[in-house]
């Protein structure tokens, strides 16, 4: 069963006190201190797209207490949520910087962002980094091509595998017309593109290949998939992927026992639809996004919580993020999530085999 919890941004919400009016995305990322960052895209002071205070990305923090609605207690920047990195919007090179996903490894939080010159015209991507719970961020000067791998390494989502690896799924940009690719990289090597391994179909079998310049990684969704925003999370020993299915105009969730499972046949749930009959309760017009909130639980009547965006492009309002909950069934033995191991370490090989990441 799907249930709308309510808007987490917009008039009367706790985001308003930090100068966050119209905004979207709201990507949840667990921070080193245990709180949760919610990273938003293009943000304005007024409840609309446009107007004063344009900045992106911005970050609000919350002590998430599911199944209650997310409430924000602080912002990067203090009383007024600041732009996380310094740049001028609508400059000759790009118009804005949009977040895709973040991951925390030890004391470091890393955020994959794309530099875009308008919708569907992504120039390149970067990984920016914070070591103070999202307050300040640094750039390392390395650009990741948005044209490489058939243009399918633009929007990225990732999570720690609890085995020393970060697993990631990528797709194209905001044209939302690409299939998905699977990657992995050692936690210690995440900033080095040459150390990333792609999931490739070689010699009639799937296998990992380092820096696959001579062999493109294979699509992991059925042919014809047109994907938008992605969110991959390790939830109680299961791999849960939420995504905007542009072809179906819906937010969907897949659940698998391991990152290398068959994503074609993985159980798939339609959580929120962009259109439908008036009496449907899980309809949100002009939707996108769809990000999993930490603390979500499987096999629970409303245990998996998602942040979904809405943008009315005719009136530029609503332009906000809302919280939804739904029931998702586990496919692998559930494991309570302890504190992940320190970067570069691994759990017992038997546990790694249970997790499907050995």
Each residue's pLDDT tens digit, 163-217: 999 999 999 999 999 999 999 999 999 999 999 999 999 999 999 998 766 778 9
pLDDT at 314 over 50: yes
Token pair listed for 132: 């103070």
Q: H or E segment at 351?
A: helix 349-355
My answer on whether omega of the bond before 14 falls inside 30° of 0, hence cis, is no
Terminus-to-terminus CA distance in the chain, angstroms? 34
pLDDT at 353 over 80: no
pLDDT at 309 over 90: yes
Single out the residue of 86, 29, 19 nearest to residue 62, CA to CA: 29
pTM of the model: 0.93
**Angle, CA of 335, 336 and 341, to the nearest 5°:** 95
Q: In a 3-state reduction of DSSP, which class is residue 16?
A: helix
Length of the chain: 358
Calculate the dihedral angle through the C-alpha atoms of 32, 33, 35, 41, rounding to the nearest 10 degrees.
-50
Per-residue three-class SS string for 171-212: ECCCCCCECCEEEEEEHHHCCCHHHCEEEEEECCEEEEEECC
pLDDT at 1 over 90: no
The 10s digit of each residue's pLDDT in 273-301 is 998 766 567 999 999 999 999 999 999 99
Record: fold of 88-355: Neuraminidase (2.120.10)
Q: pLDDT over 90 for what percent of the chain?
A: 87
What is the band of 354 on the pLDDT scale with cuts at 50, 70, 90? very low
Average pLDDT over residues 332-340: 76
**The pLDDT value given to residue 216:** 86
pLDDT at 352 over 70: no
Q: DSSP readout, 57-117?
A: SEEEEE---TTSPP---EETTTTSPPPSS---TT-SS-SEEEEEEEEEETTEEEEEEEEES
- Of the ranges 53-62, 129-138, 336-345, which one carries the lowest mean pLDDT score? 336-345
Using left for φ > 0, alpha for ψ between -120 and 50, and beta otherwise, residue 151 falls in left
Q: H or E segment at 293?
A: none
CA distance 258 to 139: 32
């Amino acid at each position: 069963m799907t249930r709308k919890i309510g808007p987490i941004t917009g008039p009367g919400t706790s985001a308003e006190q930090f100068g966050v009016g119209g905004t979207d995305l709201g990507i949840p990322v667990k921070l080193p201190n245990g709180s949760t960052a919610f990273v938003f895209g293009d943000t304005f002071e007024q409840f609309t797209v446009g107007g004063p205070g344009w900045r992106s990305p911005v970050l609000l923090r919350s002590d998430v207490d599911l199944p209650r609605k997310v409430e924000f207690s602080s912002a990067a920047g203090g009383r007024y949520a600041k732009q996380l990195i310094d740049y001028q919007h609508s400059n000759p090179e790009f118009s804005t910087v949009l977040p895709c996903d973040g991951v925390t490894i030890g004391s470091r939080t890393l955020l994959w962002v794309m530099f875009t010159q308008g919708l569907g015209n992504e120039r390149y991507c970067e990984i920016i980094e914070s070591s103070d719970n999202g307050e300040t961020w640094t750039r390392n000067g390395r650009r990741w091509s948005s044209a490489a791998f058939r243009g399918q390494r633009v929007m990225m989502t990732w999570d720690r595998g609890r085995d020393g690896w970060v697993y990631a799924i990528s797709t194209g940009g905001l044209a939302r017309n690409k299939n998905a690719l699977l990657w992995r990289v050692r936690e210690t090597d995440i900033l080095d593109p040459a150390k990333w391994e792609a999931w490739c179909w070689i010699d009639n079998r799937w296998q990992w290949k380092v820096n696959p310049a001579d062999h493109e990684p294979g699509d992991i969704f059925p042919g014809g998939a047109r994907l938008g925003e992605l969110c991959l999370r390790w939830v109680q020993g299961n791999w849960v992927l939420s995504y905007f299915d542009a072809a179906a105009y819906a937010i969907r969730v897949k659940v698998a026992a391991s990152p290398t499972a068959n994503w074609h046949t993985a159980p798939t749930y339609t959580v929120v639809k962009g259109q439908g009959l008036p009496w449907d309760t899980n309809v949100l017009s002009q939707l996108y996004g769809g990000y999993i909130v930490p603390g979500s639980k499987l096999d629970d009547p409303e245990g998996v919580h998602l942040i979904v965006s809405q943008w009315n492009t005719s009136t530029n309002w609503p332009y906000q993020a809302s919280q939804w909950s739904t029931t998702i069934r586990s496919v692998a033995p559930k494991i309570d999530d302890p504190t992940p191991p320190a970067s570069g370490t691994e759990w017992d090989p038997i546990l790694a085999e249970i997790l499907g990441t050995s």
